[in-house]
Chains A and B, each alone.
Chain A
Amino acid sequence: SQTIHQWPATLVQPVGSPLSLECTVEGTSNPNLYWYRQAAGRGLQLLFYSVGIGQISSEVPQNLSASRPQDRQFILSSKKLLLSDSGFYLCAWSVGPGGSYNSPLHFGNGTRLTVT
């Protein structure tokens, strides 16, 4: 069966510090990978998605970036965090090319980021 790992679970970082959140998926190949942010009282906001190694699409202009160095690894980064970057970050995967086009997203357990 497929599993998704996301770490760390919680993170407290000062303003201006760098960020690196990592996500890995097991049990599937060529998944679509996503980074979402969830703010209290608001729906999940898609930040980045990837359909393959090195292929990243950005949905929201911001000081965050994403990379996919391996097929089942997705990394969310920032060079300098802002207070507004605080939130709950979720990594997700879905069946990639060749699978059902409307397959559901499967989420990790998230990282609670607090920028102080």
Chain B
Amino acid sequence: EDQVTQSPEALRLQEGESSSLNCSYTVSGLRGLFWYRQDPGKGPEFLFTLYSAGEEKEKERLKATLTKKESFLHITAPKPEDSATYLCAVQASTGGYQKVTFGTGTKLQVIP
């Protein structure tokens, strides 16, 4: 069974204090790993797709990296507007449809 574990569950940072969020996964053939941002009461917003180990993607203060067992979302010099829950998801190559397994997320709070 595909599994996604995110850590920490919650993270509190001072504005400008860089850190990383972790996503460990077990999947029977990785087709893609996705990062999403979710604001309270809203649907997840797509950030990145990573396809193979060694790949990196960047968007503003966010940088996602991928190894064969985990992915990291690095947040450089965060601002209060980066406060949100960040979700990681993996898509398996098995099945005849887009089977996507989500983690439970890391709730990030950036304090001014």
Contact = CB atoms under 8 A, between A and B. Distances in A.
Given A42-B104, A104-B49, A105-B34, A57 B97 contact: yes
Given A102-B32, A105-B34, A51 B43 contact: no
B101 A43 contact: yes
A105 B44 CA distance: 9
A interface SS class:
strand
B43 A90 contact: yes
Candidate in B44, B46, B102 with the most chain A CB atoms within 10 angstroms: B44
A44 B104 CA distance: 8
The secondary-structure label for the interface of chain B is strand
B76 to A, nearest CB: 23
Interface in A6-63: 6, 32, 41-44, 46, 49, 51, 57
B91 interface: yes
